[in-house]
Structure 1
Amino acid sequence: MRRDVLDLREFYAQPLGGVVRDAIGRKLAEAWGPASGLDVLGLGYATPFLDRFPAARRTVAAMPAAQGVESWPAQGRNRAALVDEAALPFANALFDRVLIVHGLEETDEPAALLGEVGRVMAPSGRMIVAAAARGGLWSRAERTPFGAGRPFTRRQLEELVREADLEPVAWNQALYVPPFRLFTGWAEGFEQVGSKVWPGVAGVILLEVVKRTFAVKPKRARARLVAPIPGVLAPAPTPVPAGMTRRKRLDRGPHQA
């Protein structure tokens, strides 16, 4: 069962939610920059991070029906939609970048979700999945969105995306700060030191993937035989058994051998 959109919005309005927004947002900006001239899709509850792509040509927030939807952005024309995660209402190869946050851990059909994402990604598109890390403290913090659903290891995420014909190309981690409000003032220090000192306690895995491409070998043209080899490929008449004329053989019933 998915977290309600109101609970997610309330979490990101708190100081601890601000820490999450900053920590993951920095990693996204490092990976994709401002996404200049690109079409970006956020799936799950990705709206706290979509403002990291101010130069995108178009940005859309797709929120699963079981979660609920909210109007986004706060100012201007709404660009959020309520969707069926197993049948996204978008054309094939539409988005250059896809970001999944709070989308994979609670879905009942991860393969269908990733298959749909692969369908709407452009051939040169990229996707980043931000998912709760199984070994981190955040996956045990049930008061946060990362404590809901099932967490993943890096290998589990890689196997899952490969089953959807997507190929991992890079990965990173974030949220080394403990999931308690007491530590929010030292969050930036935890993020800077954590990757070197405590790599196993990161709260979130960020896996970047691309579409798989397959090389298609051209079929070989069948060579036409110019001159048959005598005695091998040349047709030969069927011998007639002794005591039977050819006329009698041809007059046998259609079901007889």
Structure 2
Amino acid sequence: MQPDVLTYNRFYQRPLGAAAASIVGDMVMRHTPHVSGKRVVGLGYSLPYLERLMAEGALPVAFMPARQGVCHWPDSASPLSALVDVYDLPLADSSVDMVIAVHALEHANRPAAFLREIWRVLVPGGKVMIIVPNRRRMWAALEATPFGHGRPYSKGQLYTLMEDQMLSPLGWSTALMQPPCGIKLFAKSMRFVETPVRILGKNLGGALMVHADKQMYGTVVKSRRVPRTVPVVMGP
């Protein structure tokens, strides 16, 4: 079951959530260096990351799925958040420069349709950042954090899914190298552990991140091989 918006909000206000948002946010900014003046859509619960992009001059809106619920954001300005159907976004074709999906794809009942809708609203060459729980990592196994809900992905699975929907991966990384723990001192140490552990293995982080751009050329549908013989069950 997908956590609701209040659960996400409470998590990111706690020390563990604040540390996670800071670490993952650093990786987002590393892969999106030029956002000033760009129209950015956040899908799922992306507020901690949209706030950093907005501080760099991006023009963001936060779209939240109906099952999750929506909250007013930002607090000090006219609302830039809305409740939407993630399979039918209230946007024109080729109308945004970047989409960042956090706590979103892993909860999609139709992941291919979810990504195809992202493809529709992106401008030609537009960018998308997908952040999902990393399969076989501790963050995906523990339900105490939002990363422990929904379907986790491996890098290969996410690459294949995105390529099938004409989103061409440009690179990948992981974040949250240290297993989750609610102890305040433990949360504060997460940033210091992140870089040394990443040296041991790029795929050790609990959050998997793939950034891609929108392809404009068509894809060839993979043909299904038709068997030349049909199996028959013989009677006694």
The offset of 1:4, in angstroms, is: 0.6
Tell me whether 1:194 sits opposite 2:193 in the alignment: no
**What code does the residue aligned with 1:181 have?**
G
Deviations 1:154-199 (A, max 9, x none): 0000011112111111111100021002321211122111111244
Asked if structure 1 preserves the Cα contact closer than 8 Å seen for 2:44 and 2:65, the reply is: yes
1:231 matched residue in structure 2: none
The offset of 1:140, in angstroms, is: 0.9
Partner SS state of residue 41, structure 2:
strand
Distance in 2 separating the partners of 1:197 and 1:112: 36
1:145 matched residue in structure 2: 146
Asked if structure 2 preserves the Cα contact closer than 8 Å seen for 1:36 and 1:57, the reply is: yes
Partner SS state of residue 19, structure 2:
helix
The offset of 1:136, in angstroms, is: 1.3
Distance in 2 separating the partners of 1:196 and 1:176: 10
The offset of 1:57, in angstroms, is: 4.7
1:209 matched residue in structure 2: 212
Distance in 1 separating the partners of 2:176 and 2:16: 11
**What code does the residue aligned with 2:68 have?**
Q
**Number of matched pairs:** 215
Asked if structure 1 preserves the Cα contact closer than 8 Å seen for 2:64 and 2:83, the reply is: yes
Query: TM-score when scaled to structure 2?
Result: 0.87
Distance in 2 separating the partners of 1:110 and 1:164: 10
Partner SS state of residue 49, structure 1:
helix
**What code does the residue aligned with 2:152 have?**
P
1:58 matched residue in structure 2: 59
Asked if structure 1 preserves the Cα contact closer than 8 Å seen for 2:173 and 2:208, the reply is: yes
Distance in 1 separating the partners of 2:52 and 2:60: 11
Unaligned runs of 5+ in 1: 216-257
Distance in 1 separating the partners of 2:145 and 2:177: 15
**What code does the residue aligned with 1:95 have?**
V
1:121 matched residue in structure 2: 122
The offset of 1:213, in angstroms, is: 2.9
Distance in 2 separating the partners of 1:200 and 1:80: 33
The offset of 1:109, in angstroms, is: 1.1
Asked if structure 1 preserves the Cα contact closer than 8 Å seen for 2:23 and 2:175, the reply is: yes
Distance in 1 separating the partners of 2:56 and 2:46: 17
Asked if structure 2 preserves the Cα contact closer than 8 Å seen for 1:2 and 1:106, the reply is: yes
1:81 matched residue in structure 2: 82
**Greater Rg over alpha carbons, structure:** 1
Distance in 2 separating the partners of 1:130 and 1:56: 22
The offset of 1:106, in angstroms, is: 1.0
How high is the sequence identity, in percent, across the aligned residues?
35
**What code does the residue aligned with 1:67 have?**
Q
Distance in 1 separating the partners of 2:34 and 2:217: 30
CA RMSD of aligned residues (A): 1.3
**What code does the residue aligned with 2:15 have?**
P
Unaligned runs of 5+ in 2: 219-236
Deviations 1:122-158 (A, max 9, x none): 1021000011000211001101000001100000000
Query: TM-score when scaled to structure 1?
Result: 0.81
Deviations 1:38-92 (A, max 9, x none): 1111000001111111243521000001110001011111000100011001111
